[in-house]
């Protein structure tokens, strides 16, 4: 089950996931994110302050979401990524693929 609050900030969908994005939750996150993009919400900011773990399955979901958003003339941007999760992005090379910012205001400027 996806535990993710959502709100709009102008034309940017701000998502606030909670907990783990791993093999047990990745499919639900992917379905939710793809449905939002297919419904026209292709500018997505994920505020990750409450994400305490991401697995390779979670990274794949974010990569697929990023690609799908770009095809829909949008993008996926992350902010507030906690240090252990940020380390996963850095060591896996995903920090070079997906835009990551320290706070929400800076991330919103990326759109």
Q: What's the pLDDT score for residue 90?
A: 96
What is the signed CA dihedral for 27, 16, 67, 95, rounded to 10 degrees? -110
Distance from C-alpha of 42 to C-alpha of 25, rounded to nearest angstrom? 21
What average pLDDT score do residues 48-70 get? 96
pLDDT digits (tens, 9 = 90+) for 75-96: 999 999 999 999 999 999 999 9
Q: What's the pLDDT score for residue 1?
A: 60
Q: What's the pLDDT score for residue 2?
A: 72
Domains (range + CATH), the chain: 4-109 (3.30.750.24)
pTM score of the predicted model: 0.93
Residue 15: CB atoms within 10 A of its CB come to: 22
């Amino acid at each position: 089950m996806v535990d993710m609050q959502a709100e709009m900030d102008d034309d940017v969908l701000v998502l606030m996931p909670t907990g783990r994005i791993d093999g047990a939750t990745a499919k639900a996150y992917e379905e939710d994110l793809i449905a939002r993009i297919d419904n026209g919400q292709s500018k997505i900011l994920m505020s990750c302050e409450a994400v305490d773990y991401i697995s390779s399955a979670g990274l794949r979901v974010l990569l697929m979401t990023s690609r799908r958003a770009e095809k829909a003339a949008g993008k996926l941007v992350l902010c507030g990524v906690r240090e252990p999760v940020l380390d996963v992005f850095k060591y896996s090379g995903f920090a070079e693929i997906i835009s990551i910012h320290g706070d929400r205001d800076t991330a919103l400027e990326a759109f």
